[in-house]
Each structure stands twice: as C-alpha cells, then as structure tokens.
A and B are shown apart, each in its own frame.
Chain A
Amino acid sequence: MHSFSLRKRLVLVAILVLIIALGLVGFALSAANYQGAVSSMQARMESYVYLVLAAMEVTDAGTLEMDEDFSDPRLTQAGSGFYIKIQGQEQSWHSASAVGRSWPRLPQVLAGTMSFAEPAATSDAFTLQYGVGWQLSEGSIEPFTVSVLVDKEQVLQQTSAFRLGLWQSLGTAGVILLVAQMVILYLGFRPLRQVTLDVARVESGQASRLEGRYPVELEPLVRNVNRLLETEKSNQTRIRNALDSLAHSLKTPLAVIQAGLSRQDSTLQNAVDEMSRLIATRLERAGSSTRRSLAEPVEVEPQLQRIVDSLQKVYSHKMIQAGFTLEEKLAFYGEKRDLLELLGNLVDNAFKYGKHRVRVTGGALEPESSRPGLQLQIEDDGPGIGESQWEGLLKRGARGDEQVEGHGLGLAIVTELVTAYGGEISIGHSELGGALVQVRIPPS
C-alpha cells in the first residue's frame, strides 16, 4: 500500500495554507478599508451639518429660513444619495435632493450631541444627527435636529471596488505562490528522483553502487545504501565460497571411496554416483548468483572458441569438424562461469557422441531489449537421442539411476542452470543426423 505521495501532501498543505492565509489577509484588509470609508463618510457628513447650520436662519418669531444656495449639487439633485433634514418642534426643512424620499422615523437629539448610526435593519442609510438649540431674541431656545442621511451605496460602491481589486491581486499572488511551490518541489525532489534512478540502475546491473553527487541531506542515505550493497555482495561471496569449498572437499573422500570399491559393489557404486551427481547439479549450483542483473555481458564467441579448442585436445583422435555460426557480438547477460558451464557440457556431449561433425548456432532473443536473451543450438552427427528419453533427460532433479547414461549428467547440470536463468531447454533431431539441443534464455 502506498502512503500518500510526498509531493501531493506538500501541494495540498500549501494550497490549504495559502487559502487560509490569503483569506485572512483579504478579510482583514477589506474590513479595514470599510472602516476607513465609513469614518471618512462620517467626517463628510459632519461637514454637511456645518454647511447646513451656516445656511440656516431662525427669525425672531422662531420661523426657520434656509438660504438654499448650496454650491454642492448633491444637496440639490433629487436621489443623489445625500439627504439633509432639519427638524424643529413644529417646522422642518429638507434638502432638494430628498424630494420624494420617504424618511425613517428620526428621534430628536439633545442639543449639543451628535449621534452616528450605520445602516441597520430599520434603515438602509448612514445617519448622522446633530442637535442644536437656537437662542431666540426673546431669550427662549428653539431646539432643532439636523439629520444627514447617506445611502449605504455611497460607501459600498467604494469598498466593493476595493474588494474586487483586493481579491484579484490576492488570487494572482496565490497562483504565483503555488507555481513557485511546484518549482521548489520539483527542484527539491530532483535529487530523490536521481537516487531512485540510480538504485534502479544498480538493480538492473548497469552500476554496482550509487556513484552520483547528491545533496548533503541525502548523503547518509546514499552512504548506507552503498554499505548495504557492499555487505550483500560480500555475504554472497562468502556463502558462495563456503558452498564451493564444501562441494570440493566432499569430492576427494568420495573419490577415495569409489577407488576403493570393487566393481561388484554396484549398490555402493550407485550411491557414490548419486552423491557426486547431487554435488555437481545441486550443491555447486546452490551458491551461484541468481542476481544476473549485476553481471557484465560476456561475449559468447571467445568462450565457445575456448571450449572447442579444449575439446579438440581431449577428443583429438576423433578429428571432429566443429563449426559455429553466431550472430555478431552475441553476448550472454550472466556469469561467465555459467556460460562456460552451459557451452562446456553441451558441446562436450556433442563431441563425445558426434562422429565427424559438431555445429553450434547462436542468436540473440529480443535483440532490441537492453539486456537481450540468448538462443543456442548444439548439434552433432552421432546416433542422436531417442524421443522416449527426452522427457527423462530434462526432468529437473531426476535421480541418478533414472538418468540416461552418457548425456545425462551434463544435461542435468545445464537444465539446472537454464532453469535458474528462467530459460528453457529442449532436445530434438539434428539435420546432421544426431542430437540437437536447444537452449533459450530470456532477456534479463
């Protein structure tokens, strides 16, 4: 099961943090802007109060008279959004802009006090009220309340324009920050991707350790991976050497037993044969590396030439004519000793049973693969192998006494080896007249 990807985690957290942070900033700024707009409006409304007070006159009879020659068109134009009303005890005045507007119920305000209200459920306008007491000549005081109303749209127009601009710029900033975050992630994760690629190269055998230059933070990881690789390699060598020496040290005592047995002791002879066969097919193979991925490619032709030269010497009296047709630069992606083992056993059988001719044909399997497989055919002009024996010869781990004499041991070793490489082996009839053994090892 995968844990959530690091990149996704980081991007997700970044998005959340950006939304929360930019959102808070946005709300704070737009609130501050609103407050600013409201208080500047309040100041403006106060100045209207003084403007109106300056234009107001009360006669000695207590009658309110207005000099309506306002230079401010907002007070004269109907529906301008700015409305002023002066209320006395029995008389009132309102600005020309307020013609046709219905007035909310406005309370009287004590002289000398000022009250300010923002739009609320009862009113959709900003309201500023100022109470004045007008001293008449007779000495009595006539109370008036000057009310200034401003439609809330007057303020909201301003603030909503600001808010739109604000969110646009915050959005742009958010996008820029996100892109920057992606770039940072990409650059930050690049060494990790490099490590992943390098580990894959080690796994596929193109490198034996992590070699590149990595950032300081990754160095401990790289160091430990390399140490692990080395430990594993030396363990493998140790196990292999231990098994090898066990296999070899068993053989000399076996040779002593066998040399001491008389020809009549067939039960003991069989037991010794069986043991040596097991040592050759199992114990000696047990230590071999199955990590063919690490092996360097081995060119087939020189190794085949070595085997053929050696066998020509051993079978010099037979004057075998050995020919081989191999694809140019045909290579085996595995251990050299395994290739020698495979060729040695099969070509040895061919020399042993062939009368005059031995032929080896080879080609690559899936040559376009980075580590192609190998296909080999070994033929001779000997008596061949009967079809009834094919299955028995290729059965893995068949007992010694089930093996067909002669071809048996070599084929058993090769079968064991080819299986370890995930390949297959088959027997057939050669057009030369004898046996044909075909080996196919898939790409690694």
Chain B
Amino acid sequence: MRVLLIEDDLRLQETLTTHLREAGYAVDVSADGIEGLYLGEEFPIDLAVIDLGLPQLPGLEVIRKLRSKGRDFPILVLTARSEWQDKVAGLEAGADDYLTKPFHVEELMARINALMRRAGGHAKPRIDLGPFMIDLTGQRVFRDGKEIELTTYEYKVLNYLVMHPDEVVTKTDLGEHIYEEDADRDSNVIEVFIGRLRRKLDPDGTLNPIETLRGRGYRLALVLAA
C-alpha cells in the first residue's frame, strides 16, 4: 500500500518515513503543498498523511483540491492545531481523520491501518478469508490457526489484494502500490511474488486463493467473511 506523506518539518518527515517503511508501506514524501498536491493527483496513492501548516499551499487547500479532482483515498490530517475549529475545518475540507501533534507513532500507525481497512471495506482489523485469517495490525497471516511466514513484499501483495476484493488487480497496480516512485519496477518480480504467495498459502494446490485472469491481472478468489 502506498502512502503519501506531506510534512514540512524534515526531521519529523524522516522519522515518520522510517516508521511507515518499517510497517511495510511504500512512502512518497513531500515537504510543501504544491509538490504534495502534484504527487497526490498523479500517483496511485492509497492514503495520504497531510500536515495542515504547509508552505506554498496550506494543507486544507491541498485536501480540497484533491477531493475536487475526484481523488477519494483516505486522508489523515496531521496538525499542530489541536483546537476543534481546526479539526472540524480539516474534516469538512475532506479529510477522514485527524491526529494532533505531538502524537504517539503507534497511534498514527493504528489510525493509518484503520483508515486503510475502512477504505477496503473491512471494519475489523482481523479478516477471515475461507480458512485464512489475516491480522492487519500485526501483519500476520494464519491458515486454520497456524501462522504462515511471509516476506514483507509477499505480505504487501496479499494485503493489496485483500484491500481490493472483487476487483481485477493488474501487475502495474501491484507494482505501483508496493514500490515507491524511484524503485526499479519489474513485472516479472510481481509474478515471482504471486507464485511464492500461492505456494505458501496453498501448498497442495486445492484452494487456488488467487486466480489469474490472462492478460488482465489477478483476483482474490475467496469469499470474505462478513
């Protein structure tokens, strides 16, 4: 999943980027409103974390412009202004949640997770998928109660598929949402990840949890439990 972080304080930007990458997100960063808006408009972003006090273009404007361009990914507002008039203004501009500075990093991660889940239509942090159970908070996957060890990228691929159920996901989609802008993207690598993921999830080949639609992409074949 790809997160856009627009924060003008470089120290905070750096720390948060590290934390987000550790949590398995691809992160695009900007320190000002205009560049941030450009990234948000042009890139396949899954979630944005936007500071309200931005140089060039205020955060509220960035949010309004993104929404008016039809970009509907979740937006979490990060603000030094803890007053409710500012929170309400942010939410009315189109944000989905807010966090006041200073904050606990765990709190930020939990909020981002929750927003991602809600955007994917999942209300709870645990997703039941046939015999599988995916713990979004702990980023762990179980089959019939037994944990399956996945690498970071394998988990990212699975997570993206889970967040887009009933959709055909192309290799390009997966590449864009898993890697950051400057990373070397090779569609063959995605195929490799899908292959490994299938073997780990379904070693005996009976469930076929991820189906391939030739020339189009992949789709989660299991029905999500409500």
Q: Which residues of chain A have a CB within 8 Å of any CB of chain B?
A: 247-249, 251-252, 254-260, 263, 269, 272, 276, 280, 284, 306-307, 309-310, 313-314, 316-317, 336-337, 340-341, 343-345
Given contacts A255-B102, A310-B92, contact A248 B15 (CB under 8 A): no
Interface SS, A side: helix
Inter-chain contact B91/A252, CB cutoff 8 Å:
no
- Is the Cβ of A248 less than 8 Å from the Cβ of B16? no
Query: Counting CB contacts under 8 A, is B12 at the interface?
Result: yes
The answer on a CB contact under 8 Å between B11 and A344 is: no
Can you list 28 A-B contacts with CB-CB less than 8 angstroms, sorted by A residue number? Answer: A247-B80, A248-B53, A248-B81, A249-B80, A252-B101, A254-B102, A255-B80, A255-B103, A256-B9, A258-B102, A259-B15, A259-B105, A276-B102, A306-B88, A306-B92, A307-B84, A307-B88, A309-B92, A310-B91, A313-B91, A313-B96, A314-B96, A317-B114, A336-B85, A337-B83, A341-B84, A341-B85, A344-B84
What's the minimum C-beta distance from A180 to chain B, rounded to whole angstroms? 60
Is the C-beta of B143 less than 8 angstroms from some C-beta in chain A?
no
Interchain CA distance A118-B84 in the complex, whole Å: 102
Residues of A contacting B12 in the complex (Cβ-Cβ under 8 angstroms): 252, 255-256, 259
| B residues whose Cβ falls under 8 Å from a Cβ of A | 9, 11-12, 15-16, 19, 53, 80-85, 87-88, 91-92, 96-98, 100-106, 114, 118, 123
Q: Which B residues are CB-close (under 8 A) to A247?
A: 80
Q: What's the nearest-Cβ distance from chain A to residue B100, in Å?
A: 8
Interchain CA distance A258-B53 in the complex, whole Å: 19
Residue from A284, A314, A317 in contact with B83 in the complex, judged by beta carbons closer than 8 Å: A284
Q: Name the 6 nearest CB pairs between A and B, nearest first.
A: A344-B84, A254-B102, A255-B102, A310-B91, A251-B80, A255-B101
Q: Which residues of A contact B11 (CB under 8 A)?
A: 256
Query: With A and B bound together, what is the CA distance between A269 and B97 in angstroms?
Result: 24
A272 / chain B contacts, CB cutoff of 8 Å: 102
Least Cβ–Cβ distance between A342 and chain B, in angstroms:
8
C-alpha spacing A81/B120, complex, angstroms: 134
A314 partner residues in chain B, CB cutoff 8 A: 91, 96-98
Q: Which residue on chain A has the smallest CB distance to residue B122? A: A317
Chain B residue contacts of A313, Cβ below 8 A: 91, 96-97
| A341 / chain B contacts, CB cutoff of 8 Å | 83-85
The interface centre, meaning the residue of B82, B96, B102, B105 with most chain A CB atoms within 10 A of its CB, is B102
Which residues of chain A have C-beta atoms less than 8 A from B83's C-beta? Answer: 284, 337, 340-341
Known: A258-B103, A309-B91. 17 other contacts (CB 8 A): A248-B80, A249-B80, A254-B101, A254-B102, A255-B101, A255-B103, A257-B102, A259-B105, A263-B106, A276-B101, A313-B97, A314-B96, A317-B123, A341-B83, A341-B84, A344-B84, A344-B88
Q: How far is the CA of A336 from the CA of B80 in the complex (A)?
A: 20
Complex CA distance for A366 and B123, rounded to whole angstroms: 46
CB-defined contacts of B123 to chain A, threshold 8 Å: 317
Query: Please, which residues of chain B bring their CB within 8 A of the CB of A260?
Result: 15
Cα distance A340–B89 in the bound complex, in angstroms: 11
Contact check, A251 vs B102: say whether CB atoms are below 8 A apart: yes
List of B residues within 8 angstroms of A307 by Cβ: 84, 88
In the complex, the answer to whether A310 meets B88 with C-beta atoms within 8 Å is yes
Minimum CB–CB distance from B226 to chain A (whole Å) comes to 14
Q: How far is the CA of A310 from the CA of B83 in the complex (A)?
A: 14
Given contacts A254-B102, A314-B97, contact A343 B80 (CB under 8 A): no
The CA-CA distance from A192 to B98 in the complex, in Å, is 54
Contacts of B84 in A (CB 8 A): 307, 337, 340-341, 343-345
Closest A residue to B10 using CB positions: A256
Inter-chain contact A258/B118, CB cutoff 8 Å? no
Report the separation of the CA atoms of residues A247 and B123 in the bound assembly, to the nearest whole angstrom: 36
Residue contact B15 to A337, C-beta cutoff 8 Å: no
- Contact residues in B for A317 (Cβ distance below 8 Å): 114, 118, 123
Q: Which residue of B lies closest to A341 (CB)?
A: B84
Q: Tell me, in angstroms, the Cα distance from A260 to B9 when the chains sit together.
A: 14
Measured between beta carbons, the chain B residues less than 8 angstroms from A259 are 12, 15-16, 19, 102, 105
